[in-house]
Structures are given as structure tokens and as C-alpha cells.
Amino acid sequence: MRRLIVRRLISAVFVMLIASLLSFCLLFFAPGNPAEIVIRQQSGLDPTYAEIELFMKQHDLDRPFLVQCLQWSYLLTRGNLGVSLRTGEPVLEEFTARFGPTFQLAVAAIVLSVIIGLPIGIMAAAKPNSLFDHVTRIVALGGLSVPEFWLGLMLMLCFSLALGWLPCFGYGSVNHLVLPVVTLSVGITASLARFMRASMLEVLHLEYIKTAKAKGLREAVIIWKHALKNALTPVVTVLGTQLGHLLAGAVIVETVFSWPGIGKFFVDSIYARDYPVIQGFVIITAVMYVLVNLLVDVLYVYLDPRVRYEGRGQ
């Protein structure tokens, strides 16, 4: 258990380090002098040479790369992600203010995907090569092939325009939540079902399943208790890695549905070339990754009694 915590901490620190380096480098990749870009952003005018000089001095941009990099990391540790060029507010505050809607969307999508995806995977594995197995496999492949933004638009077309059941844009009621969540869930549901099936099939070949059969247990008990409890552990890891999918999906789905979360804010900031926000998003992504992995570890300990003593295997 302690080994697990130490390993998690080291990896978390490493993730944050690389993330801050990445996000710092982003500005260096930008064509032209960052000072020039920023001033043009703020004033809308081409800056003079003296203005650039002054700006660079004020913001320590004339220091060597490494010094700047360390400075940026230091500010990060204090939660300072800089100020949005567009709104003039601190980037961190801009993100926290928009976190709620994104969190709603993400949690609802994960819950929906788990409720639908896991049982499908389990049932497909219980009867491999059955009609159900083949059909769900093709449907899942289809679900992984549909572009989210287009699916969202098509759902809108169908359920808002043609049937008039649900609102197509905006935020507020539960009705507003339905279409974005469904759109976001399709891909995650499909991959969860596939992972669940594979993991289940692997477990169903193991010795202790034969023992369970020899005990005269019902098939349902064998599948939903004996096999599932073991097959779930790898799926939980996958659930953690689905965060990437979720965030990427949220960026697109929020843009399509005008959902006021951090994803939409991020895309709007890209259009506005709001560099501090773009940089900040990299950091936010990394922080979420670390947090979600922590959650996955907690789930792991709950699911697999062995972890309590040894630590999670790779």
C-alpha cells in the first residue's frame, strides 16, 4: 500500500513537470516574438521596438530559457497560470468558474457509459460468438467510428428539430443535458463494452471459474460475481484512461452544443489566440489526469484485495 502511494506521488510529480514544460514550450513554438503577439492582442496595434523591449523586461522574457522555465514552474506551484488576454481575469479563475458544467457532463457521460457498456460487454462474453456478441461487436465498432461532433449535430437534427423533444443548445435543465451526454457517451460506451468483454473472456478461462462450476453455482452467479469481480479491475484502469477521451470529447461536444464548460472556453481561447489559457489547459489536463488516477487507485483497492498489500501491478 505504501509502495503504491509513493509510486503514484512520483509519477504525479513527473506528469506535472512534463506538463509544465510542454505548456511552457508551446509559447516558444509560437511564430514570432511572444511579447509582440501579446501586445498586439491587447492593443490591436503593431507594437514598436521599444514597446517590445519594455514588455520583455517587465515580464522577464529577456532572461535565459531555463530561468524562464523555472520561473513559470514556480508560479505554477502557487496556482498562478497567468492572466487571460481576452478577459483580463486570472486563467485559473476562468477555469474553475467553468468547471461545474464540464464536470456535470463528464460524470453523467461516464455513468451512462458504465451502465450500458459494462453489461453489454459482460453478456457478450458470457455467450461468445452468439448473435448478441456479433451484433454488439459491430455496433460498438460503429460507435467508435462516428465523429462526435457530427453525431451531436445529427441528434440535434433528429430530436430537437424533427421531433421537438429536447432543446438543441444551451445549459440549464436536465433536458439540456441529454443530447450532449448521449453524444459523449457513445464512444466511451463502445470502448468500455469491448474492454469488458475481453477482460471477462480472459477471466472465464481461469481455474477458479471451473471451481465455481464444480460447486454447482448458477451461471448468473459465476458470471456476475466470480468472474466480474476479477474482470472489473483492468476495466477500472481503462476507465481512468478514458479521461483523455472524455476531455477531448468534452471540448468538441461543448463546442457543438454551446455548453458553457472549460472545453468550449478552451476552443474559444484558441480562436482568440489567448495563449495563457491554452497553456493553462495543458496544466489543467495534467491535474485532472493525476486526480482521476488517484480515484482509480482507490477503486482498485476496493476491488482487488491483493492490492491492499502489494500495490498495483503494471
Partner 1 sequence: MLLKINRLRVYFKSADGLVVATDGVDLQLCPGEILGLVGETGSGKTVLGLAITCLLPKTAVASGEVLYRGQNLLALPEDEMRKVRGRQVAMIFQNPSSSLNPALSIGEQIAEVLREHRGLKRKEARQRAGELLELTGIPAKWIHSYPHELSGGMRQRAMITIGLACAPSLFIADEPTKGLDVTIQAQVVELLHAVTKGADPQRSMLLITHDLGVAAALTDRLAVMYAGKIIEQGPTVEVFRNPRHPYTRALLNSHPSNGLMAVQGFSPSLINLPPGCSFHPRCQKARKRCTQDPPSAKRMGSDHEVRCFNA
Partner 2 sequence: MQILEAIRENKLLLSGSILILVFIALAVLAPFITLYDPNDVKVEIRLLPPGEQHLMGTDGFGRDIFSRIIYGTRYSLFLALAVVSVNLLLGLMIGSIAGYFGGMIDELIMRTVDVLLAFPNIILALCIVGVLGPSIPNLLVALVALGWVGYTRISRGLVLSIKEQGFIGAAKALGGSNMYIIVRHIIPNAFPSLLVLATLHVGHTILSIAALSFLGLGVQAPTPEWGAMLSEGKQFIFTYPHVMIFPGVAITFSVLSFNLFGEGLRDILDPRAREVLNV
Q: Point out which residues bind partner 1 (CB under 8 A).
A: 206-208, 210-218, 221, 225-226, 229-230, 303-306, 309
Q: Smallest gap, in angstroms, from Cβ of residue 5 to partner 1?
A: 20
Long-range pairs of 222-231 with CB within 8 A, sequence gap ≥ 24: 223/122, 223/126, 224/122, 227/200, 227/203, 228/122, 228/200, 229/303, 230/203, 230/206, 231/122, 231/125, 231/196, 231/199, 231/200, 231/202, 231/203
Q: Binding residue for partner 2 (CB under 8 A) from 92, 251, 262, 307?
A: 251
157 binds partner 2 (CB under 8 A): yes
Q: Binding residue for partner 2 (CB under 8 A) from 52, 139, 217, 270?
A: 270
35 binds partner 2 (CB under 8 A): no
Which of the ranges 9-17, 77-85, 218-226, 227-235 carries the binding residues for partner 2, by CB under 8 A? 9-17
258 binds partner 2 (CB under 8 A): no
Residue nearer to partner 2 on the CB measure, 92 or 262:
262
Q: Binding residue for partner 2 (CB under 8 A) from 19, 76, 181, 223?
A: 19
Angle, helix 228-257 to helix 91-126, in steps of 10 degrees: 130
Which of the ranges 85-93, 107-115, 268-276, 299-307 carries the binding residues for partner 2, by CB under 8 A? 268-276
Strand partners, 83: 90
Q: Please, are residues 38 and 85 in contact by the beta-carbon 8 Å criterion?
A: yes
Kindly compute the dihedral angle of the four CA atoms of residues 221, 226, 231, 237, in this order, to the nearest 10 degrees: 110
Q: How many angstroms separate the CA atoms of 289 and 227, rounded?
A: 29
61 binds partner 2 (CB under 8 A): no
Residue nearer to partner 2 on the CB measure, 65 or 150:
150
Residue nearer to partner 2 on the CB measure, 30 or 116:
30
Q: Binding residue for partner 2 (CB under 8 A) from 4, 61, 146, 301?
A: 146
Binding site for partner 2 (CB under 8 A): 11, 14-15, 18-19, 22-23, 26-27, 29-31, 137, 141-142, 144-151, 153-154, 156-157, 161, 202, 205, 243-245, 247-248, 251-252, 255, 266-267, 269-271, 273, 275, 278-279, 281-282, 285-286, 289
